[in-house]
């Protein structure tokens, strides 16, 4: 009888242990499922936040492109006005009116010696652009494409701007090293006919021709190319917004 009780007790104990293990396993499965659901919800929330961040970046970039196109248009207008002055200097003086001759004389000394206008071009389209690299959607990829275009545009501009600045410096140094009226030149004072004669020389004319081709025409052409790229990117971005 005691033996039977022990056996029964042992059987009950095993049954209880089995039930407990099943219960514990069930609890673990529920916990794992809960964790997976929480992770999934968190991932969805993060994806939603990232999408909103990318959208916000894209809108900022769109505004930047629009502003940069406007800057290019303004600078192009200014360069076109400068080009008129260069052409006036290079024109046959006998074909000019007295008013044009007077204006030509007043501006000639400064055509290739004073500052030039360059495009204020910031290649950083957004300080948060790295957010766009998290996803592979069309909008993120377009932002990365725009970033590369800006970097290449900035590189091309600098390759043109640096030699132009060096050319200006060379022209100023030439005057400084060869003419006693250098102080007059710096102060914008009037020149005597003898002093002014240099600005009618073939040497100075060649410098003007060089600057016209090197700066006004080449730089204007580069701006036109960059504007074309920005207009294209602006249209493509608008389709994704």
Task: State how far the Cα of 199 lies from the Cα of 194, in Å rounded to an integer.
Answer: 10
Please, what's the b/e burial string for 198-215 (b: 16 or more CB within 10 A of its CB; e: otherwise)?
bbeeeebeebbeebbeeb
Task: State how far the Cα of 226 lies from the Cα of 134, in Å rounded to an integer.
Answer: 28
pLDDT of residue 5: 53
pLDDT of residue 82: 93
Could you say which DSSP state residue 132 is in?
A: G
3-state secondary structure of 179: coil
Q: Which of 125, 143, 122 is nearest to 133 (CA)?
A: 143
Q: Which of 203, 211, 189, 205 is nearest to 106 (CA)?
A: 189
pLDDT of residue 4: 47
* Residues in the chain with pLDDT values less than 50: 2-4, 12
pLDDT of residue 3: 47
**With a threshold of 0.85, does the pTM exceed it?**
no
pLDDT of residue 24: 65
pLDDT of residue 13: 56
């Amino acid at each position: 009888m005691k033996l039977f009780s022990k056996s029964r007790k042992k059987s009950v104990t095993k049954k209880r242990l089995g039930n407990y293990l099943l219960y514990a396993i069930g609890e673990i499965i529920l916990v794992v499922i809960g964790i997976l659901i929480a992770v999934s919800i968190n991932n969805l929330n993060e994806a939603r936040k990232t999408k909103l961040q990318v959208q916000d970046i894209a809108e900022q970039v769109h505004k930047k492109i629009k502003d940069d196109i406007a800057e290019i248009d303004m600078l192009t207008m200014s360069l076109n006005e400068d080009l008129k002055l260069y052409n006036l200097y290079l024109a046959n003086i006998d074909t000019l009116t007295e008013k044009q001759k007077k204006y030509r004389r007043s501006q000639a000394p400064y055509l290739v010696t004073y500052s030039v206008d360059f495009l204020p071009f910031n290649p950083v389209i957004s300080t948060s652009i790295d957010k766009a690299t998290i996803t592979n959607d069309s909008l993120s990829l377009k932002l990365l494409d725009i970033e590369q275009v800006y970097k290449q545009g900035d590189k091309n501009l600098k390759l043109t701007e640096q030699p132009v600045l060096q050319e200006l410096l060379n022209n100023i140094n030439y005057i400084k090293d060869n003419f006693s009226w250098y102080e007059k030149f710096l102060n914008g004072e009037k020149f005597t006919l003898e002093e002014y004669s240099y600005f009618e020389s073939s040497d100075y004319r060649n410098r003007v021709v060089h600057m016209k081709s090197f700066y006004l025409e080449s730089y204007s052409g580069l701006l036109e190319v960059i504007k074309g790229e920005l207009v294209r990117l602006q249209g493509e971005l608008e389709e994704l917004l």
